[in-house]
Each structure stands twice: as C-alpha cells, then as structure tokens.
C-alpha cells in the first residue's frame, strides 16, 4: 500500500537484539509492516553464536507508529529493543561542514608563511595584478550559496535560520562530489534590494554565486539583478539546476518509451521558480510550446510571454502526454486524473502532487518524484565547470549542456544516473565548461586534456 503523501514522514533507526533463530527477523519485520512503517537499510552490528544485533532504518508517518512497533516488539521473547535513534538529527549536530587549513601551522616559520609577515607580499602582488587572486586565494574554487529562506524546499517561508541545513547540505555535497569550497550565507532580509546588495557586496570573495530557496516571483528579478551586479556567474539553483535535471529525465523517459520530447504534448502544473524554468528549458529544447497551469495570472502571463500556452490542471492532465508538477500541494493530482501511458513527474518535496506508485497503478507509463529527479545531479558539476573557466554569467546554453551530459551519463534502462557517482558530475562540469567557452563567457583557458573523458 502506498504511503499517504499528505502526511509528514519520520526517519528513525531501530536497534534490536534477536535470538539467533530462523524466523525471528521475519517476525520483527512483520511487526513493522503491520503498523504501516516502511523498512530501509538493515545492518548487522554484532553477531554471536546465540544472538544477532541489527540496525533497521524505518520510515513512519507518525511517532505513534513507532511507539506501537516498540511496544509489540517488547512483547516478543526472542527480541529486545536496544535503542531507537533519530539519525537525521544526529547527522546535523554541530553542522555538516567545517573549514580546515591546507597546510600545518605548527611553527613560527609556518605562521610567517601563512600569515604575518609573508602574507603582506601576496596582498601587494594581488593589488598590482588582480588576476593573481585566482592563483593565491580560494576565490577561483569557491561558491557562495545565498538564501533568504523564503522558499525552503516545499516547506515554504521558514526564514534564514531554518534554511541553513539545506545550504550546509549543498556546501557539503559540493565539497564531496566536485571539490568545491562553498559557504552557506543566510540573509536576514527578504527584500530584493537587500538580497542584491548583499550578493554584490560579498561577490569579490567568490567565483560563483548560487542563489537558493528564494520565493517566486521575486527570484526572477533577484537573479537578473544579482547577475548584473556581480562579475562572476550567478544562477538560481531552484530554477536552472532543477530544470536541467528534469529535461534530462524527460529525454531519458522518452527513450524508454521509444519516442522523443518533440513529438509529445507537455504540460507544466505550477509556474513558480522551478516550474517556469522547467517549461522554458523544455521549450528551448523542443521548440514547441508547453501548456502551463498556475493560480497566479502573473505566472501565466510570464509563461505566455516566453512562448508557452495558458492552460489549467484539468486540460494538462486530460490532454498532455507528459505532466510535470511543481506546486508544493500534496495529492493535487488524483489517480483518476491520470491517463494511461502518460509520463508523470510530480516533483514537490518532501510530499509530491501524486505518489509515483499511485500514478503507475493508475496507468502512467513512467512516474517519478522529486527525490529521484533532483537538482543534485546538476549544480555540483555546473559550479565546477563555471569555476574552471571563470565564467562571467550562466546562460541557458550551459544548463542545456548540463542536461545533455546527464543524459549521456545515464546507464541504459535508467531514468537518471546515480547522483553520488562522481563521474556524472565530472561529465556535467566538462560540458558546462565547454558551453561557457562556446558562449564567449569564459575568462580563462583550459588545457585540452580537461575536456578528455576520464
């Protein structure tokens, strides 16, 4: 039975000690299933001749489910509940990133090289030739991830402090996947003038400005104005990173369905930051209008002005071969609205417009949600490529190149590559760098070996 996408979900790890006997683990999993929880990873912690200790990851819709599971397991003589942990919160304790020096600083000689008196000579040289900052500072490998917290995930306006876990997570992933330094910057003000002024004021320290979790429609103005105010590439990841991955998923879905996007009628429900960018990206790729539905007349006008067609949810679901939804409204699409053979991407996180399993059961040919079609597949490689060529802007062409690189990196029969596969991110970086050079926005040359397949 599919989980209710309208309810919150909680991740917990259950540690149990079982008697080493056939059928005991099956009994534990049976208890979990009876109370409506889903099982993730199961890991063996300790094994002896008489017992087995395991960690079992659970996904539940209420804490009452957990209480009921633990209570029933406590009644089983072959099983002992040792611990119930919230590993999500534990993973965030103290934050997810830190700064470390690149060299030891243990002696006065080290201090003299890293700071005073030696650093003064480096400052003087950069003053005389600003291009040397690329060689003697972290700027050329550093991204600012800036947010006002006005549109955090699909949760809404949570403010700057609550946006920090997302910003830290993206910074950690940039470091891990592509070796980029990234700093989370949460702004107290949600006024567009203040956001633009703040980004412009700090921009000398960064090689790329990545805007994050800024609400629509102000995000469109903010992105444009930030790009005009800074001398480096700036982009709003919720728009362009998401759109690039959705386009890649659409191309691959069409291959699985033995068709091409140009032959399909495509509809976009929700024309906020992600939705409008997705529609624009698809129209740029196919040359065909996208049908768009949104409650905001301003959003509809924006789509029509970009070549799209005004529509509504009933027409999109009733006529379109591809339905993409980015509304933040759980269960907006009822199973009865699904037509046989449709491709459906319900992308709102953490709860989609329709659960992918329900969509498939209702007749969809291919269905997927935002957990799988996620901008993680784009922004690390995009930042890496933009930094490597010193890009001065981030036009649509670089994100189309990212989409096409993701398609090439996708294993046969899959919708998208594994987002933790570093080769996929390297492919995106090379494609973005190449597109930046072709677009005339690169400020530095790269050796030809950079563009060679790894």
Q: Which residue is it, tokens 């412009």?
A: 200
**Nearest Cα to Cα of residue 57 among 102, 93, 14:** 14
| Active-site annotation holds for 170 | yes
Q: Which residues of 56-65 are buried (b: 16+ CB within 10 A; e: fewer)?
A: bbbebbeeeb
The beta-carbon contacts of 80-84 under 8 Å, at least 24 apart in sequence, are 80/16, 80/17, 80/18, 81/14, 81/15, 81/16, 82/15, 82/16, 82/17, 82/53, 83/13, 83/14, 83/15, 84/12, 84/13, 84/14, 84/15
Q: What is the 3-state secondary structure (H, E, C) of 237-274?
A: HHHHHHHHHHHHHHHHHHHHCCCCHHHCCEEEECCCHH
Task: Fill in the DSSP letter of residue 195.
Answer: H
Give the gyration radius of the chain's Cα atoms: 25
Whether 211 contacts 234, CB under 8 Å: yes
Of the residues 96, 170, 379, 392, only one is catalytic, namely 170
**Measured between alpha carbons, how far is 203 from 226 in angstroms, rounded to an integer?**
10
Dihedral sign computed on CA atoms, order 358, 360, 362, 365:
positive
Return the SS3 of 5.
coil
Of the residues 17, 96, 115, 392, only one is catalytic, namely 115
Whether 424 contacts 404, CB under 8 Å: no
Whether 143 contacts 174, CB under 8 Å: yes
349 φ, ψ (degrees, to nearest 5): -115, 145
10 φ, ψ (degrees, to nearest 5): -125, 135
| Active-site annotation holds for 115 | yes
**Measured between alpha carbons, how far is 360 from 351 in angstroms, rounded to an integer?**
17
**Measured between alpha carbons, how far is 67 from 352 in angstroms, rounded to an integer?**
27
Residues with catalytic function: 115, 170
């Amino acid at each position: 039975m599919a989980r209710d996408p309208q309810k919150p979900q909680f991740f917990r790890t259950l540690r149990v000690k079982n008697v080493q006997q056939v059928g005991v683990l099956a009994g534990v999993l049976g208890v979990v299933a009876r109370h409506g929880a889903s099982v993730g990873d199961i890991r063996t912690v300790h094994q002896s001749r008489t017992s087995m200790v395991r960690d079992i990851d659970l996904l539940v819709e209420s804490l009452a489910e957990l209480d009921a599971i633990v209570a029933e397991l406590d009644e089983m003589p072959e099983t002992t509940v040792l611990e119930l942990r919230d590993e999500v919160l534990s993973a965030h304790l103290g934050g997810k990133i830190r700064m470390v020096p690149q060299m030891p600083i243990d002696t006065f000689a080290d201090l003299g090289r890293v700071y005073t008196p030696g650093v003064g000579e480096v400052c003087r040289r950069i003053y005389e030739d600003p291009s040397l900052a690329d060689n003697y500072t972290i700027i050329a490998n550093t991204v600012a991830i800036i947010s006002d917290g006005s549109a955090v995930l699909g949760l809404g306006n949570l403010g700057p402090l609550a946006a920090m876990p997302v910003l830290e997570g993206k910074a950690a992933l940039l470091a891990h996947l592509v070796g980029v330094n990234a700093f989370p910057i949460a702004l107290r003000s949600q006024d567009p003038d203040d956001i633009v002024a703040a980004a412009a004021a700090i921009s000398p320290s960064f090689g790329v400005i990545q805007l994050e979790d800024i609400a629509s429609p102000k995000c469109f103005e903010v992105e444009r104005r930030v790009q005009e105010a800074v001398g480096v590439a700036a982009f709003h990841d919720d728009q362009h990173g998401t759109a690039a991955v959705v386009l890649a998923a659409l191309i691959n879905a069409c291959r699985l369905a033995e068709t091409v996007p140009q032959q399909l009628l495509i509809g976009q429900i929700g024309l906020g930051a992600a939705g409008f960018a997705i529609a624009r990206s698809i129209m740029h790729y196919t040359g065909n209008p996208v049908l768009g539905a949104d409650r905001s007349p301003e959003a509809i006008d924006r789509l029509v002005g970009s070549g799209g067609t005004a529509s509504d949810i009933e027409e999109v679901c009733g006529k379109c071969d591809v339905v993409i939804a980015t509304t933040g409204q759980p269960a907006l699409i009822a199973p009865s609205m699904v037509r046989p053979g449709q491709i459906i991407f319900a992308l709102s996180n953490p709860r989609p417009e329709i659960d992918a399993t329900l969509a498939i059961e209702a007749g969809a040919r291919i269905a997927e949600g935002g957990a799988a079609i996620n901008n993680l597949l784009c922004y690390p490689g995009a930042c890496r490529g933009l930094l490597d060529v010193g890009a001065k802007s981030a036009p649509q062409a670089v994100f189309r190149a990212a989409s096409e690189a993701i398609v090439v990196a996708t294993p046969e029969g899959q919708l998208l590559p594994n987002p933790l596969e570093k080769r996929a991110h390297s492919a995106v970086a090379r494609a973005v760098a190449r597109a930046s050079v072709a677009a005339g926005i690169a400020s530095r040359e790269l050796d030809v070996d950079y563009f060679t397949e790894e």
